[in-house]
Amino acid sequence: MAAPLRIQSDWAQALRKDEGEAWLSCHPPGKPTLYGSLTCQGIGQDGIPEVTASEGFIVNEINKKSIHISCPKENASSKFLAPYTTFSRIHSKSITCLDISSGGGLGVSSSTDGSMKIWQASNGELRRVLEGHVFDVNCCRFFPSGLVVLSGGMDAQLKIWSAEDASCVVTFKGHKGGILDTAIVDRGRNVVSGSRDGTARLWDCGRSSCLGVIADCGSSINGVAVGAADNSINLGSPEQMPSEREVGTESKMLLLAREDKKLQCLGLQSRQPVFLFVGSDAFNCCTFLSGFLLLAGTQDGNIYQLDVRSPRAPVQVIHRSGAPVLSLLSFRDGFIASQGDGSCFIVQQDLDYVIELTGADCDPVFKVATWEKQIYTCCRDGLVRRYQLSDL
């Protein structure tokens, strides 16, 4: 990864007025930071500003919502994308989690204001308030149908809600500590939860019962991911016959991002270990990119890419800043990552530049969700930002 470029968070507004300025910087690892600025030389007839960069930086292209900057000396290139729209009225405090329904019509989010809400994805208009957790809700996501929501809270409860009438249809009890992340298996007959109590559990949604403790690792499980395993991966076989209530667990891997600096992978149905990888710091989040490639992010800013078939050494380690990696999401032929310093970026295999989603000013971006060409982020500043990739 080339040296990261940074830009003033409100650059799109700042450069919209004549002689408006915005700062720029380039951060080559182990070398002094390079500072620069952008200046608006006037607004074109199409409403797009004409922008020049100070020495050492080049403006390759500019549109209303995006600007492509390079720093040739460090071989760095980023396309910065400003939000298409911002929703400020959903929550009053930091938004810790969000998701968008499979049809793209609804969003769900949870906040440190104690609430979990369903809203219209197009305009942020409130639709439902989901009430029933005691204390904060840590994680929320839609089932593949888009009509049902799964949430996990500090109250150690996992709940399933109807998005249509906001009723809580199932409550799972069994964890002894707050639930920090969840994953849905296939179409959602079964779900997985990871908790502060150090266990990952598999649940039967139809009977609201626990099908088993998949892992008990004695350390907080910060992130979980379920993925279909490539045929070449040996997931082992279960010691006892799986319950007929387990649906879609065969040939699946379960990935656990642990507080004790370990990333653990096991067979979801077999409960057998696949690998255990030790990282540089606590693992916060993880995701599968394919049947054998995965990503995991640490508290000290490392993004590890691992191959399940040879997990001893990472395929690559991406380090853009020391800020905690808070979320990772597979996206097209690459991924989206967000960090505790407000940075949120997209890496694509076929692009020689990074796409940076701007707007958050040093406030952590906790979670990212996508629907087609739209990307939604939630942030400590209490805002949901929606980006339009067509604006690139």
Q: Quick one: pLDDT at residue 133?
A: 95
pLDDT in tens, 326-375: 999 999 999 999 999 999 999 998 899 999 999 999 999 999 999 999 99
Is the predicted pLDDT of residue 115 greater than 90, yes or no?
Answer: yes
Give the whole-angstrom CA distance, residue 136 versus residue 289: 30
Q: Quick check: 24 and 58 in contact, CB under 8 A?
A: no
Q: What is the mean pLDDT of residues 117-142?
A: 97
Query: How buried is residue 368: exposed, middle or buried, by Cβ count under 10 Å (0-12/13-18/19+)?
Result: buried
* 39, pLDDT greater than 90: yes
Whether 282 has a pLDDT exceeding 70, the answer reads: yes
Give 2's pLDDT tier (boundaries 50, 70, 90).
confident
Q: How many degrees, rounded to 5, is the angle at CA 99 between CA 93 and CA 102?
A: 155
pLDDT for 208? 92
Whole-structure pTM value: 0.97
Instruction: List 58's β-bridge partners, or say none.
Output: 70
Query: What are the pLDDT digits (tens) for 238-276?
Result: 999 999 999 999 999 999 999 999 999 999 999 999 999
Q: Which CATH superfamily is domain 85-388 in?
A: YVTN repeat-like/Quinoprotein amine dehydrogenase (2.130.10.10)
Kindly report, residue by residue over 73-97, the tens digit of the pLDDT.
999 999 999 999 999 999 999 999 9
* pLDDT reported for residue 16: 94
For position 392, what pLDDT does the model report? 66
Q: Reply yes or no on whether the pLDDT at 290 is more than 70.
A: yes
Q: What is the mean pLDDT of residues 182-194?
A: 97
Other Cβ atoms closer than 10 A to 371: 18
Per-residue pLDDT at 102 exceeds 70: yes
Per-residue pLDDT tens digits for 197-227: 999 999 999 999 999 999 999 999 999 999 9
Residue for token pair 């995991």 = 296
Residue 122 banded pLDDT, cuts 50, 70, 90: very high
Mean of per-residue pLDDT scores for the chain: 96
What is the phi/psi pair of residue 39, to 5°? -130, 135
The three-state DSSP-derived secondary structure of the chain is CCCCEEECCCHHHHCCCCCCEEEEEECCCCCCCEEEEEEEEEECCCCCEEEEECCCCEEEEECCCEEEEEEHHHCEEEEEECCCEEECCCCCCCEEEEEECCCCCEEEEEECCCCEEEEECCCCCEEEECCCCCCCEEEEEECCCCCEEEEEECCCCEEEEECCCCCEEEEECCCCCCEEEEEEECCCCEEEEEECCCEEEEEECCCCEEEEEEEECCCCEEEEEEEECCCCCCCCCCCCCCCCCCCCCCCEEEEEEECCCEEEEEECCCCCEEEEEECCCCEEEEEECCCCEEEEEECCCEEEEEECCCCCCCCEEEECCCCCEEEEEEECCEEEEEECCCCEEEEECCCCCEEEECCCCCCCEEEEEEECCEEEEEECCCCEEEEEHHHC
Q: What is the rounded distance in angstroms from the CA atom of residue 157 to the CA atom of residue 292?
A: 32
Q: What is the mean pLDDT of residues 133-142?
A: 96
Per-residue confidence (pLDDT) for residue 3, from 0 to 100: 86
Going by C-beta distance under 8 Å and a sequence separation of 6 or more, which residues neighbour residue 110? 95, 96, 97, 98, 116, 136, 137, 138, 139, 140, 151
Query: Which of 12-16, 148-152, 222-226, 348-352 is predicted with the least confidence, judged by mean pLDDT?
Result: 348-352
Task: Give the per-residue pLDDT at 390.
Answer: 85
Give the C-alpha separation, 142 to 160, whole Å.
Answer: 9
- Which sequence spans correspond to the domains of the chain? 5-81, 85-388
Q: Return the pLDDT at 386.
A: 98
